[in-house]
């Protein structure tokens, strides 16, 4: 067992999301919060269409966001 735990799940995408889109994760959480009470795939579609985000990155952000609600 290593002293560093490897990040798993949706959060494992966060470094690449921040690098690719140039915004911190908190920015995306705010975008999702402002979108209102939408379903998972509706939020994914919003990120893809309005922010040109790839499906995997959008799905990871939405999964994380909804898990914290």
pLDDT tens digits, residue range 1-38?
454 568 899 999 999 999 999 999 999 999 999 999 99
Task: Say whether pLDDT at 47 is over 70.
Answer: yes
d(CA 38, CA 44): 10
Residue pair 47/58 in contact by the 8 Å Cβ criterion: yes
And the tokens for 37?
Answer: 């009470």
């Amino acid at each position: 067992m290593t002293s560093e735990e490897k990040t798993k799940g949706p959060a494992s995408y966060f470094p690449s999301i921040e690098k690719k889109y140039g915004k911190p994760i908190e920015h995306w959480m705010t975008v999702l919060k402002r979108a209102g009470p939408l379903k998972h795939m509706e939020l994914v579609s919003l990120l893809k269409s309005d922010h040109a985000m790839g499906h995997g990155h959008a799905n990871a952000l939405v999964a994380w966001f909804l898990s914290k609600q």
